Amino acid sequence: MSEAKRLQQIRHNLERRARVYHFACVFLRGRGFLEVTTPVRVAELAPEAFITPVASEDRWLITSPELHMKRLLAAGYERIFQISRCFRKGEKGRLHNPEFDLLEWYRANAGYGEVIHDTEELIVSIADALGTGTNIIYQGQKINLRPPWPKINVREAFLRYAGWDPTANFDQQRFDTDMATLVQPKLPTEHPTVLTEYPAQAASLSRLKPGNSAVAERAEVFIGGLELANAYSELNNAAEQRRRFESEIAHIEREQGIKMPMPERFLSAVGGMPLSGGIALGLERLVMLFCNTRFINEITAFTEDNI
Amino acid sequence: MKIEDVKKNVKLLYQGKPWNVDTAEFVKPGKGSAIYRLHLKNLLDASVLDVTFRSADKVDEASITNLEMQYLYKEGAHYVFMNTQNFEQTLIPEDLLGDKVHFMKEGLLANVQLWDDKATDVSIPVFVELAVVETGTAIKTATVTAQNKSAKLETGYFIDVPSFIKEGDLIKIDTRTGAYVERLSTKK
């Protein structure tokens, strides 16, 4: 198929994509969030074992705008959001493109529960603005978007669908494989589902649950089989964050032979950040949901294959 | 080769057998490690297998060759083909040919895919020319609509043809559908 024909065929999806982006911003501005712009090419990144950044001369392209947005929170900005182009090396597939858009927003003096609540309202507001209503069909599945969305913690979900408890005996490889092959495909599809309380070992940049340090205040939103958003009660303990980064840096060096720098500017700011809730939502996945497409390239003008 | 480079229709050697990659899916939880799920089809017996690999895993590519071969004759449940370059002969089981047996006329040129000297696939031309050896007369009707009738071809294959086709006619057949395309010449 010629390029022009392909681009014409997906035109209605690209038009809907623009509207989804627009209504997402309208919703967050309406809730008092300030739209910010942070750099795409940065000197420090959160080292994460399974996210490979793209180098750009002596800098990195961001894998998420998280560190800079938290530096704004630490400086007293209480409600902020942005849509950022992010880059993750090698992530290419039906639901992945190595460059993609994250919608991130943060609320000071809140936790992950509040930003999950924002997400419920955001998605209903976009559905209303698009005129789809809250009963949508994605890939043959009827989905009712009306909140509140059922929450299930990772321990219960794994005991039910994978037969073991990752919060008691954590095994990274088994956790990732079972999440993708056993748990995620069996989550209910008739409504969005929120997986909460990830094992402490998968806490990443979230704080551990007060009173139960085996789990982290981290949640993921799944709709119609799509992993859509990842929320944290943000960790603001600089010493604990440094220990986690050290462990990630060691893992990356061992597995990939790359020495990632410690994000010192971020660490010197994060101790001053109020307890906050933050979330990163994959906008392409949200557009796929509202366009009812199975492949990310049906809602993307130019993917890795044709740039 | 690296699992990251495996695409649809790559041929892999896995557990000592050759497989075609029917689908390759990249699965990755946002914060977790990547998984590659392959749906494989065995090139020898068409059995299927789902396998999961991780980032940085290595897989072996199956060494597949494609050769032009000519069909010579049938021997029991096998079809004997000859390499047109070195004249070596290869036996190809009837099962591997499937519906293509209907078009096996001596001298037909085919593309044979081989793994470890074993044939794993045979492609034949989209169109072949075969002679009609037997056909009845069509029932005459008052309409001008073309009437079809059954005809037997030189390979033993029965096919629907228009009523004007006679014994001895040479016709063109689409091997993908097995259907009549046109008459090429007629016996005077």
Collapse the DSSP code of B66 into the 3-class scheme (helix H, G, I; strand E, B; otherwise coil) and give the result.
Answer: strand
Q: Which two tokens stand for residue B42?
A: 């065995």
Residue A273 pLDDT exceeds 50? yes
In chain B, what residues touch A230 (CB-CB under 8 Å)? 30-31
Residue of B nearest to A177 (CA): B35
Q: Please give the mean pLDDT across all residues of chain A.
A: 96
Torsion sign over Cα B173, B130, B172, B88: positive
Return the percentage of chain B with pLDDT > 90, whole number: 68
pLDDT at B30: 85
Q: Which two tokens stand for residue B23?
A: 């689908």
Q: Cβ–Cβ of B29/A176 closer than 8 Å?
A: yes
Q: Which of A46-55, A120-129, B128-137 has the lowest mean pLDDT?
A: B128-137
pLDDT at B188: 64
pLDDT at B144: 44
Q: Give the mutation candidate from B31, B36, B51, B55 for the A interface (greatest A CB count, under 10 A).
A: B31
Residue A34 pLDDT exceeds 70? yes
For A68-103, write each residue's pLDDT tens digit.
999 999 999 999 999 999 999 999 999 999 999 999
pLDDT at B143: 47
For A199-246, write each residue's pLDDT tens digit.
999 999 999 999 999 999 999 999 999 999 999 999 999 999 999 999
Selection from A41, A65, A67 nearest residue A54 by Cα = A41
pLDDT at B44: 84
CA distance A93 to chain B (A): 5
What is the average pLDDT across B95-119? 91
| CA distance to A1, A15, A117, A302, per residue, from A307 (Å) | 16, 20, 37, 6
What is the average pLDDT across B12-26? 93
pLDDT at A63: 97
What is the average pLDDT across B130-152? 72
Selection from A207, A112, A194, A116 nearest residue A157 by Cα = A194
pLDDT at B72: 96
Selection from A293, A307, A208 nearest residue A13 by Cα = A293
Residue B145 pLDDT exceeds 60? no
What is the average pLDDT across A183-189? 93
Residue of B nearest to A256 (CA): B56
Residue A161 pLDDT exceeds 60? yes
Max intra-chain CA distance, chain A: 59
Q: Give the mutation candidate from B21, B28, B54 for the A interface (greatest A CB count, under 10 A).
A: B28
pLDDT at B138: 55
Q: How many CB atoms lie within 10 A of CB B73?
A: 11
pLDDT at B142: 44
What is the average pLDDT across B6-23? 93
Which ipTM value was assigned to this complex?
0.84
CA distance B38 to chain A (A): 13
pLDDT at A54: 96
